[in-house]
């Protein structure tokens, strides 16, 4: 049962706010509505509340599902992404895997910031319109660049040895100036 003082107080505030919102007036012209809402509260307090059905009264399958925890959380119903269809066997994947940094050059990467907790460091990089978090040793741009070090506002990328072994390996520094990439 709803406590009468709680319902009256909250409902009174709601009615007053509704009157101000609808007609710009205060609660005085709403005296008739206030009497109606007091009568409604009295009627609700005197009427018996229906009891919730016991678990035994539910259908057997629903009760078993509820006990097993298989019913979905009502907050998440209709939210999120639907399950993806399995790829056809033998189909080639054209897009890079999710989460891969696809920049071909360090010029396409912007340093947003660095985070440090204890001995661990993480850098936030903006590639196109996607933000990635990387740690030292993480590959960037496929297998072409590797995060070698993360300092306060500097991330060092080292070129990984590839087909061009005749040239010396390059090192690239992503920097931030006053928090602006």
Phi first, then psi: give them for residue 124, nearest 5 degrees.
-105, 120
More confident residue, 88 or 164: 88
- Residues 146-171 as b/e (b if ≥16 CB within 10 A, e otherwise) read bbeebeebebbbebeeeeeeeeeeee
Q: Specify whether domain 106-175 bears CATH 3.90.1170.50.
A: no
What was the pLDDT predicted at 167? 59
| Predicted local distance difference test score (pLDDT) of residue 132 | 79
Note the pLDDT tens digit of each residue in 57-114. Answer: 545 545 444 444 444 444 444 444 444 556 666 666 555 555 555 566 677 778 888 8
Q: Where are the domains of the chain?
A: 1-74, 106-175
Can you read off the two tokens belonging to residue 121?
Answer: 């460091």
Name the residue with higher pLDDT: 129 or 89. Answer: 129
pLDDT for 94 equals: 54
Residue 18 CA to chain centroid, in angstroms?
33
Asked if 1 and 49 count as a contact pair (C-beta separation under 8 A), the reply is yes
pLDDT value, residue 63: 46
Sheet of 154-159, strands arranged across: 139-140, 145-150, 154-159, 171-175
Q: Which residue has the higher pLDDT, 91 or 118?
A: 118
């Amino acid at each position: 049962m709803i406590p009468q003082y709680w319902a009256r107080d909250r409902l009174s505030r709601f009615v007053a706010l509704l009157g101000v919102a609808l007609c710009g007036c205060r609660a005085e012209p709403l005296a008739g509505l206030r009497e109606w809402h007091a009568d409604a509260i009295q009627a609700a307090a005197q009427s018996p509340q229906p009891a919730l059905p016991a678990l035994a009264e539910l259908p057997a399958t629903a009760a078993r599902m509820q006990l097993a925890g298989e019913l979905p959380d009502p907050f998440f119903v209709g939210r999120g992404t639907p399950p993806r269809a399995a790829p056809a066997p033998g189909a080639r994947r054209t897009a890079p895997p999710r989460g891969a940094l696809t920049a071909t050059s360090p010029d396409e990467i912007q340093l947003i910031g660095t985070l440090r907790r204890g001995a661990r460091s993480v850098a936030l990089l903006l590639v196109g319109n996607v933000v990635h978090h990387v740690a030292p040793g993480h590959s960037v741009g496929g297998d072409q660049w590797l995060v070698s070090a993360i300092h306060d506002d500097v991330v060092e990328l080292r070129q990984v040895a590839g087909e061009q072994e005749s040239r010396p390996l390059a090192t690239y520094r992503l920097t931030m100036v006053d928090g602006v990439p």
